[in-house]
């Protein structure tokens, strides 16, 4: 490969470029996690062995597993019974960085198709209030079916424009903003995914910023908002968070987006002559060759005052 590579614009920021290119040519591993409402991790491991399924525990996330050589894991009885959920490994990161606990009020602002909502609900258990929102009611239908399959009862679904949620919805302790993006990091499972264009940025970035801004307005003092994308583009990642920090000033600060056992790259503080808030180094960038996953970006913002 050479500079005609679809992601060549990121060559200067991606470590071990050759390894990155090779990773994109490999199939993406299947990742599942045990649903604690119905089964324990040891019980799921025993079931997988009985079914002759080879698996490898995900070291940084207890209860999650990589399956090897499994065709159509979503058609298996254990999946249909809600014993496990299928979710890309790197997609587990944003919810893990929400710092969840029982009793919190939690909003998933762009919830469909719902794996992260399910991850939230099964993490906090019944003693929490969860609102799953998405503007596309058609995409919410599979989310509802997924919640039923997994036995989740602590989640309310709503369909609204996340950039303009009414104030009377109240404040939240934790808000996930997994925004619509150019999906560059999904190219291992979606070969049509290519680098974003200026037209993509014009279409996406204003919505992404509006979603993050509304989330911060709905966050309680002391609460946390996690912003995430599955793209490499700094325009959709650091630049969005930087613009919010410039507008809201000292009311918000970034907390390190780090998890034990999961080493990845720091966020960017410069890109093509543009300088971002130094706090952006505490964001997290994941490239496919680092953990044999897709690409991802996560930033966690803590609210210190209204």
Which residues are marked as active site?
230
What DSSP state is assigned to residue 162?
G
Question: CB–CB of 288/265 below 8 Å?
Answer: no
Cα separation, 268 vs 291, in Å, equals 19
What DSSP state is assigned to residue 164?
G
Question: CB–CB of 217/299 below 8 Å?
Answer: no
Cβ count near 191 (within 10 Å): 9
Burial of 125 (0-12, 13-18, 19+ CB in 10 A): middle
Burial of 138 (0-12, 13-18, 19+ CB in 10 A): exposed
């Amino acid at each position: 490969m050479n500079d005609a590579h679809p992601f060549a614009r990121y060559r200067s920021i991606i470590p071990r470029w050759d390894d990155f290119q090779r990773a994109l040519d490999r199939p993406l591993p299947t990742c599942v996690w045990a649903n604690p409402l119905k089964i324990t991790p040891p019980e799921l491991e025993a079931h997988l062995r009985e079914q002759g399924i080879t698996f490898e525990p995900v070291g940084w996330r207890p209860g999650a597993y990589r399956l090897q050589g499994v065709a159509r894991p979503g058609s298996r009885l254990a999946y249909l019974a809600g014993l496990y959920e299928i979710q890309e490994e790197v997609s587990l990161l944003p919810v893990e960085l929400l710092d969840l606990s029982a009793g919190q009020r939690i909003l998933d602002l762009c919830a469909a198709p719902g794996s992260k909502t399910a991850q939230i609900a099964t993490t906090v258990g019944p003693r929490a209030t969860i609102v799953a929102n998405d503007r596309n009611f058609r995409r919410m239908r599979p989310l509802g079916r997924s919640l039923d399959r997994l036995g989740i009862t602590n989640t309310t679904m709503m369909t609204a424009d996340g950039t303009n949620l009414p104030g009377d919805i109240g404040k939240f302790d934790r808000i996930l903003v997994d925004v619509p993006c150019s999906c560059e990091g999904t190219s291992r499972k979606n070969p049509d995914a290519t680098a974003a264009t200026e037209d993509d940025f014009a279409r996406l970035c204003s919505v992404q910023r509006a979603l993050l801004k509304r989330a911060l307005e709905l966050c309680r003092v002391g609460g946390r908002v996690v912003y995430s994308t599955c793209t490499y583009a700094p325009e959709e990642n650091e630049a969005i968070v930087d613009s919010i920090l410039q507008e809201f000033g000292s009311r918000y600060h970034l907390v390190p987006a780090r998890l034990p056992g999961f080493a990845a790259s720091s966020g960017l503080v410069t890109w093509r002559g543009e300088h971002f808030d130094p706090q952006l180094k505490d964001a997290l960038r994941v490239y496919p060759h680092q953990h044999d996953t897709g690409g991802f970006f996560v930033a966690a913002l803590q609210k210190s005052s209204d």
